[in-house]
Amino acid sequence: MADDGRGAKRQKTSGAEMDPKANPYLAHHYEEESNGYSNGYSNGFSRSKKASSTVFDNLIRHQTSSKDAEVAENGPNNAFTGQPLSNRYFNILKGRRNLPVHTQRQEFLDMFQKSQILVFVGETGSGKTTQIPQFVLFDDMPQLQGKMVACTQPRRVAAMSVAQRVANEMDVPLGEEVGYSIRFEDKTSPRTILKYMTDGMLLREAMTDNNLSRYSCLILDEAHERTLATDILMGLLKEVARRRPDLKIVIMSATLDAQKFQKYFKIGEDPAPLLAVPGRTHPVEIFYTAEPERDYVEAALRTVLQIHATEPEGDILLFLTGEEEIEDACRKIGLEADELVREADAGPLKVYPLYGTLPPAQQQRIFDPAPPPHKPGGRPGRKCIVSTNIAETSLTIDGIVYVVDPGFSKQKVYNPRIRVESLLVSPISKASAQQRAGRAGRTRPGKCFRLYTEGAFKKELIEQTYPEILRSNLSMTVLQLKKLGIDDLVHFDLMDPPAPETLMRALEELNYLACLDDEGELTHLGRLAAEFPLDPSIGVMLISSPEFYCSNEMLSLTALLSVPQLFNRPASARKRADEMKELFAHPDGDHLTMLNVYHAFKGPEAQRDPKQWCHDHFLSYRALQQADNVRSQLKRIMEREDLELMSTPFEDKKYYENIRRALVSGFFMQVAKRDGSGKTYITVKDDQSVLLHPSTVLAQEAEWVVYNEFVLTTKNYIRTVTAVKAEWLLDIAPMYYNIEDFKQGEIRRSLQKTADTLRRKEALKAGKSRK
DNA sequence: GAGCACTGC
């Protein structure tokens, strides 16, 4: 179909695109509309043909009222598609009109129309995440602009489930007018006008489109969570708002911290306008323990079973800290509950684990209804969800009446002095505890059992968890900011600026990696590294790998390093699991072992029944699948950037050596040297005394090792280690291994010795060749 | 002799 023909036809027939020229308020947008956006829109065109006119014909952008929107929502046809609205739609609509946000729709519109930036505070149950973006749609009419409204979420599951919910509310198939976009999955189409996405995804988009020009309105949800991506986006949006006066911004938050957001987004000297909507939650009765609990997992299990045995109907939500703890607890609760059924005639109890790395299908199971009684009239069944922090915020599960809160979660902590990021089980904040308790009052009055004393709550818990930006290694963030075109990092306006030392560390690290030059400017390598969703050191390693003839292998390894735990080691079968791991072990280290696992996984034997094969070999099928996913994403980027994919032939005796050398090209700052002849190692430059993690396959003899991570538990461990040679360090990272920069000691002596030997060898060679 | 919450076109 010819372009001009389509354009003419659209004006007459597409309701959503109805004669923009006739509307003086839209005239200036007409030109934009004929670029790009119209391409795919014509595909879905026949659908909207039936609607010869729509409610939007009579509305003026940014001048609508809540009444207008309500009339539009009342149908009988869908305002955006022209299709007749379903019965389900009208049923859901009734519920939506009962949400607290609904009563303030006009107030919201007034503020939205008046101000470029708006802070919106809605407590849980206010309906803000689902309703506000829809309020925006009816007034902002992105479909007439060829633009979209985006609503960011810190987590993938939330983006997916909210998008599904809103698609239902708007009576459209998910992925059409309403879609979502997360890593590995873009469920949107050219028709999409409302897109839920992860905050990280929007940040990624900002790197290629610094003005975020595809959007007419950006809604940052759950801003109070202060994820790294949210914090950077907020700083960025302040700048984009200046460059794009047409862009509307809504910051949504759940807590009392609203003033901080208002002040940060001040317009001139005035704080950004604020709209607060009360939540709708039922009262939650809080119980504390009289004495501190020694073993919180054990106490949690006891509490769950007690609730099941004695409390009236209602589902249970238990917060624990990690995957294994959760799986373990689920098994134990299941067993004990069966006993309760047999011995005390308790109702059936279904136990579901919930954590981020769980496959989506299994995550969905938490929404299954509670089991019915064993026999008619018997004691009611209930479900118990054992979850990480993921259930604390975005993911809401209706029907929860009892919350068990041991008061811990795994949190990232960063120590800039020794440049170590680690996960630690730490006490939660008061805000978190309140959030957790609130989960019990979604559908009716509930109870929250805190497994700590009231005194501990009041005196020991901090008010708010520190924002992530203050707890992270910022090398990737700094690289992203550079890529986003932020040159002056020191004056980039962040809500909570990180310590100067942390920034300096990041700049220094990027300089060593040659991602930034001595002036702090992005280098070609830095620009490339920013294209990869990887830590800069790993990105650099991958980019350099063609020089070591092993980019195919490094692609696999990089993918493996960015997914969770590969090796399963269930408490019940540790010995078997270790034996299986031995099958893949490479004497030179864990990186090579992981690579062996991946190759075996992709081999014909495993591929006959990969799930079973993984199970038999105590490997995480999910992790390997995820690695495969990551690998293809990284491969696409490699190809796009013209980085060559190659391998050293497996028969070549340099096959593994090349891989180990390539490891050094990225990990040269994560190197440790054996201390004398003992078991301890010393990290290069930071002089930390560390031990090889007991999970390593590496024999203790290795003089020098590169390590993937530092694990702080009972002792200082380095995990995932591979043996390297001192001469490679000098050869591959001469800038970092400039011997004069090292203080006197074992490491310097050893490097010096290596350098001397190398020089003698060179001299010998030169002498020989002269003869 | 041990433990990865959350995210990334």
Give per-residue pLDDT as tens, A599-623: 999 999 999 998 889 988 989 888 8
Residue spans of alpha helices (H) in A585-722: 590-602, 604-608, 610-616, 621-640, 655-667
- Residues A212-227 pLDDT 10s: 999 999 999 989 889 9
Report the SS3 class of residue A646.
coil
- pLDDT at site A57: 81
Supply φ then ψ for residue A584, to 5 degrees: -100, -10
Q: How far is CA A214 from CA A21, A32, A190, A210, A477, in A?
A: 21, 11, 12, 11, 23
Give distance CA A145 / C1' B9 (Å).
23
Element (DSSP H or E) covering residue A91:
helix A87-97
Question: Per the structure block, which two tokens stand in for A366?
Answer: 């938490």
Tokens read off for A372: 């019915």
Q: What average pLDDT does range A82-108 have in this prediction?
A: 92
> How far, in Å, is the CA of A565 from the C1' of nucleotide B3?
10
**How far is the CA of A95 from the CAs of A101, A127, A169, A711, in angstroms?**
12, 10, 10, 49
Q: How far apart are CA A617 and CA A597, in angstroms?
A: 10
pLDDT at A266: 92
Q: Which residue type is seen at A560?
A: L
Structure-model confidence comparison of residues A101 and A416, the more confident one? A101
- Given a cut of 80, is residue A37 above it in pLDDT? no
Q: Which nucleotide is nearest to A714 (CA to C1')?
A: B2
Which nucleotide's C1' atom has the smallest distance to the CA of A532?
A: B8
Nearest protein residue to nucleotide B7, judged by CA and C1' positions:
A200
For the stretch A637-688, pLDDT in tens is: 999 999 999 999 999 999 999 999 999 999 999 999 998 777 889 998 788 8
Whether A50 has a pLDDT exceeding 70, the answer reads no
A17 CB-near residues (< 8 Å, 6+ apart)? A10, A11, A33, A41, A143, A144
Task: Return the closest nucleotide (C1') to the Cα of A389.
Answer: B5
CB of A365 closer than 8 Å to CB of A377: no
pLDDT at A374: 81
**Which residues are bridge partners to A385 per DSSP?**
A317, A352
pLDDT band for position A36 (cuts 50, 70, 90):
very low
Q: What is the residue type of A1?
A: M
Q: Is the pLDDT of residue A278 over 60?
A: yes
**CA separation for the pair A154, A390 (Å, rounded):** 10
Q: In the structure, how far is the CA atom of residue A56 from the C1' atom of nucleotide B4, in angstroms?
A: 49
Q: Any idea which nucleotide's C1' is nearest the CA of A637?
A: B9
Dist. CA A385–CA A389, nearest whole Å: 12
pLDDT of residue A56: 83
Which residue(s) pair with A400 in the sheet? A315
In the structure encoding, which two tokens stand for residue A426, read together?
């730490």
Distance CA A318, CA A409 (A): 12
Closest CA to A419 of A515, A522, A503: A503
A581: the nucleotide nearest its CA (via C1') is B2
C1' of nucleotide B2: residue with nearest CA:
A694
Percentage of chain A beyond pLDDT 90 is: 53
The top-scoring range by mean pLDDT among A80-94, A424-438, A612-626 is A80-94
CA distance A221 to A154: 8
- Residue-wise pLDDT for A510-528, tens only, equals 999 999 999 999 999 999 9
User: pLDDT tens, A290-330?
Assistant: 988 888 899 999 999 999 999 999 999 999 998 878 988 99
A318 CA – B3 C1', rounded, Å: 19
CA of A109 to C1' of B1 (A): 62
A538: nt with nearest C1' to CA: B8
Find the Å distance, CA of residue A704 to C1' of nucleotide B4: 26
Q: In whole angstroms, what is the distance from residue A684 CA to residue A79 CA? A: 64
CA→C1' distance for A626 and B3 (Å): 20
Closest amino acid to nucleotide B1 (CA–C1'): A694
State the nearest residue by CA to the C1' of B6: A155
Query: Position of tokens 């795919």?
Result: A40
* Residue of A76, A98, A72, A99 whose CA lies nearest to A87: A76
Per-state percent for chain A, helix, strand, coil, to nearest 5: 50, 15, 35
Distance in angstroms: CA A345, C1' B7: 45
Q: Comparing A3-12, A57-66, A163-172, which segment has the lowest mean pLDDT? A: A3-12
In this complex, the residue with its CA at the shortest distance from the C1' of nucleotide B3 is A324
Asked if residue A702 has pLDDT above 60, the reply is yes
Q: Which single residue has its CA nearest the C1' atom of nucleotide B5?
A: A410
Amino acid at A52: S
Interatomic distance A49 CA / B7 C1' (Å): 41
pLDDT computed for residue A19 by the predictor: 38
Highest mean pLDDT among A42-46, A327-331, A563-567: A327-331
Tokens of A67: 């009444």
Specify the range with the lowest mean pLDDT, choosing from A443-447, A449-453, A560-564, A674-678.
A674-678
pLDDT for position A394: 57
Nearest-nucleotide field for A679 (CA, C1'): B1
Asked if pLDDT for residue A464 goes beyond 90, the answer is: no
Weakest-pLDDT range from A30-39, A356-365, A590-599, A702-711: A30-39
- Report the largest interatomic distance among the alpha carbons of chain A, rounded to a whole angstrom: 101
**Which nucleotide's C1' atom has the smallest distance to the CA of A533?**
B8
- Residue with nearest Cα to nucleotide B4 C1': A564
Strand partners of residue A249: A117, A218
Residues making up chain A, counted from first to last: 771
pLDDT > 50? residue A8: no
**pLDDT at A5 > cutoff 80:** no
What is the spatial distance, in angstroms and rounded to an integer, between the CA atom of A519 and the C1' atom of B1? 47
Sign of CA dihedral A439, A445, A448, A449: negative
- As a whole number of angstroms, the distance between CA A532 and CA A383 comes to 41
Query: What is the structure's pLDDT at A39?
Result: 36
pLDDT exceeds 50 at position A44: no
Lowest-confidence range among A68-72, A122-126, A407-411, A591-595? A122-126
Q: What average pLDDT does this structure show over A617-639?
A: 90
Chain mean pLDDT for chain A: 86
Percentage of chain A modeled with pLDDT above 70: 91
Q: What contacts A566, CB < 8 A, 6 or more positions away?
A: A560, A594, A597, A619, A620, A623, A624, A627
- Confidence grade of residue A17 (pLDDT, cut at 50, 70, 90): very low
- The spacing between the Cα labelled CA in A334 and the C1' in B7, in angstroms, equals 32
- Quickly give A154 CA vs B7 C1' distance in Å: 7
Q: How confident is the model at residue A771 (pLDDT cuts 50, 70, 90)?
A: low
Q: Which nucleotides of B are covered by protein (CB under 7 A)?
A: 1-9
Q: Which nucleotide is nearest to A476 (CA to C1')?
A: B8
Query: pLDDT per residue over A706-716, tens digit each?
Result: 999 887 777 88
* Residue type present at position A21: K
Give the CA A709 to C1' B7 distance in Å: 18
pLDDT given at position A571:
67
